[in-house]
Structure 1
Amino acid sequence: MINKKYSEFENFDEDYNFDSNEFVDIPNLEDELESEIKKTKANLKKAKIMLIGGTGVGKSSLINVVFGKDVAKVGHGVPTSRGIEKFEIPGRDIIIYDSEGYEIGEDKLEHFNSNIISTIESEGICTVWYCISTPNSRITDYDKEIIGKIKSYNIPVHVVLTQADKSNPTKAQEMKTTVKAECGVESFLVTTNYIKIQNPKTNKEYGYLELENLLKFTTENITDENLRLAFVREQRCSLKVKEEEATRIVNQHASGNAIVGFSPIPFSDAPLLLASQVAMISRIICVYELEEQESGIKGIIQAIGLQGLMQQGGKMAAKFALGQAMKFFSGLGSVAGGMINGAVAATFTKTLGYTVSTICYKMKEDEINNTKKTAFLNGPTTEMFLSVFKNQFDKLGQR
């Protein structure tokens, strides 16, 4: 049942029988979306990740699982300084810096230390994954020292306890406790060998253990919007991480659209609202890497049922504009009108964003699994889109 907060939408079709273009001059959506996607991609920055750890800890395997396409093999390593290689693939917005293991000896350690810090400063590293082999069951004093120095430069550093599937679980948890207590950073038990056995507590497969948590934590610690989007987009390991970033984008736009609803100029907000929604959709499509499909932008619009979306969007925008006009009628204050319009704008934008994200998720999932039998791989129909839209709207009303 729809929450009272959103009950004004319940009988909308019966109460308002407007043509979808009556109040809003809807632009050519293909051109608008294509332009917005190009703008979004042009603003992306290269997410630069540094991996530190000795030979044999599994850094190359970690890179390949997270970023796909055998980055560590396909990418051309270019030495940036002694002991550090830079891997970059044309067309990708991720750059990996891989350090060799350090050698024992005061002079050698100091030189290694200097190289790490100078690379972080000169290359603009956005996060560091410090890799330690879990089966070794020890964290050295030097590990603690270099982690502390990286932290002092305000660079997020996360300890990745690799090869965790080969370690005693009790000792592995003890290592996590030690890292937190003695280094003051989070650590994550990770394997690059997918574990299909189910966890009795969660009823889910163990998978890559805490690798998804590492990706989520890394994402949360990238504050630059364009770096953050690049990292989430380029990681190929977790659709859940992409979905959470899409949700954050939706909430960001919905909040902005609620503010738009308080504008005192009647009818002026609807085109503004529409522009924000197109920008939101473009960012979501980029998160899921669906803009490069062979069918192009037109195919994506058809796949997410955008024609049906704008038919609904035009109606909602019509009511939104009508609400603006109501603020100027005798007895209706602008504050009350603004509150109504803010709810309309935010609710529709959220419903739209969650719908696009849900369908993009399913499309990407089918693409990854090569599930040719499902409807989403070939692109859902407008009817399917509107069904998801209604379901997401109902969920919002229940919150």
Structure 2
Amino acid sequence: MAGFQTDESLLRNIDAEIKQLGRTNIIVVGRTGVGKSTLINAVFKEDVATTGTGSPVTKNIQKYAIPGTSVTLFDSRGLEMKEFKKIMEEVCSFIKRCQKNKDINEHIHIAWMCISHTSNRLEEGEIAFVEMISKYIPVVIVITQSYDEDNTLFNIIQQKFQDPKVIPVVAKEKSIRKGYPPIPSTGLPSLVKTTQELLPAAQQIAFLAAQNADFSAKILKAHGIVGASAIAAAAAGAIPIPFSDMAVLVPIEIGMIISITAVFGFEIERSVILALWGIFATASGASIVGLGLASLLKFIPGVGSVAGGIIDAAVATSITTAFGEAYIGILVVLFKENNGAKPTKDQLLAKCKQEWKTKQDS
């Protein structure tokens, strides 16, 4: 990267933060015909069975790695009543085996139990399955094909279970009668929100990055990342930092860039993060670590005057917040210009360079 002296500590910071990004593993179960594939494809905007890297892990469980993401789906064979007990035992045995792994990234983190609204009943086998699997992992009961407002099945499930969340969903817009408006897709944002809340913290970013049913969930998580980073910066600034020693904030800023970039669905590469930091630092010919944060001061009213002085907790918080929110704003504009589709990494870097230069010149 011309014009920048790459510091080894910066590279170590980048590598350390990348290692902290988790993987998310979801198991999807339900009877044949309940719409599992339709649901999966609607959430991830992928024909997962076609584009995913599929491989059998047991006789009744198929594994799909969603391309370009850190999410893996495990799809169980239809839970037909005549083989319900056998499949249930196999799925539970598989989950227990995964949970014994010391690496949390190899665990199964959540289950989506799909029950069709059209059945309007809860089978004994489905009850047994939810009760068994919820001993090991969180379960979201997804009432698929919820084409009308009859709440009978929803109420039955709510009365039967205390813990599992119940989300009615129409995964794909459906035409019922000719001449009548189609039934719109509903419930997917609720499923995304509920799933995120039930996942371990390390797995939330991977899931939100992969899902494409609710873009606002990515934005909300990104704001949360900024908030957490600002708190960390405040802690770092609790002991006033001489302006010349602002490099102590670099790991916080690097972690924030990586997490925000990841939650918007970009594959995280060291070269991309290094390029982004170089753009944001805009200290041509200088050390990235030494001067990377200095250029951020001009965006914060009343802070520029501290140059050469002291950075305290309030200023460190302001720097971090301004930096993070500016980056989120750039990403939102970029996705909008790309009609909601994920831009390429070249588009990301070009847009950041353009927008950051505009902010500096203004």
**TM-score computed with the length of structure 2 as normaliser:** 0.76
Deviations 1:270-326 (A, max 9, x none): 211233123211211121134579x95587569x866399564255487287245xx
Aligned to 2:282: 307
- For residues 63-92 of structure 1, the C-alpha deviation after alignment (integer angstroms, 9 at most, x for no partner) is 222223321222243222232111125653
- The answer to whether 1:121 aligns with 2:112 is no
* Separation in 2, partners of 1:250, 1:273: 14
Task: State the one-letter code of the partner of 1:319.
Answer: V
Q: Decide which of 141, 144, 148 is 1:159's aligned counterpart.
A: 141
Counterpart CA distance in 2 for 1:115 and 1:258 is 49
- Which residue of 2 is the match for residue 135 of structure 1? 118
| Residues 369-388 of structure 1 mapped to structure 2, 5 A cutoff | 369=340, 379=351, 381-382=354-355, 386=359
- 1:168 matched to 2:148? The reply is yes
Say yes or no: does 1:235 pair with 2:211: yes
Measured after TM superposition, the shift of residue 45 of structure 1 is 3.1
Is 1:363 aligned to residue 334 of structure 2? Answer: yes
CA RMSD between the two structures: 3.7
Corresponding residue for 1:52?
29
Structure 1 residues 230 and 33: alpha-carbon distance in aligned structure 2, compared to 1, 3 A threshold: farther
1:207 CA displacement? 5.8
Change (3 A) 1:266 1:52: same
1:61-210 map, 5 Å: 61-89=38-66, 91-105=68-82, 108-123=83-98, 124-153=107-136, 155-164=137-146, 167-169=147-149, 171=150, 173-184=151-162, 185-194=164-173, 208-210=185-187
> Aligned partners of 1:259 and 1:65: how far apart in 2?
41
1-structure distance, mates of 2:154, 2:10: 45
How far did residue 229 of structure 1 move? 1.7
Identify if the C-alpha distance between structure 1 residues 77 and 291 changes in structure 2 by more than 3 Å, giving closer, same or farther: closer
Contact 2:32 2:80 in 1 (8 A): no
TM-score by length of 1: 0.70
Deviations 1:111-153 (A, max 9, x none): 2221121111223210000011112222222222211122222
Percent of counterpart pairs with the same letter? Answer: 27
> Which deviates the most, 39-48 or 234-243?
39-48
The one-letter amino acid paired with 1:168 is D
How far the C-alpha of 1:255 sits from its partner, in A, is: 0.6
Distance 2:90 2:75 in 1: 12
How far apart, in 2, do the equivalents of 1:221 and 1:28 lie?
43
Q: Following the alignment from structure 1 to structure 2, what is the Cα–Cα distance between the partners of residues 104 and 49?
A: 23
* Displacement after TM superposition at 1:369 (Å): 3.8
Name which of structure 1's ranges 249-258 and 95-104 shifts more when overlaid on structure 2: 95-104
Give the whole-Å Cα distance in 1 for the aligned partners of 2:342 and 2:205. 27
3-state DSSP class of the match of 1:101?
coil
**1:244 pairs with one of 211, 220, 224:** 220
Structural mapping, 1:31-46, within 5 Å: 39-46=16-23
| Contact in 1 for aligned 2:113/2:141 (Cα 8 Å) | yes
Q: What's the secondary structure of 1:193's corresponding residue?
A: coil
| Structure 2: distance between partners of 1:234 and 1:60 | 16
For structure 1, the residue ranges without an aligned partner over 5 or more in a row are 1-26, 197-205, 325-340, 391-399
Which letter does structure 1 place at the counterpart of 2:138?
A: P
Q: 2:246 aligns with which of 249, 256, 270?
A: 270
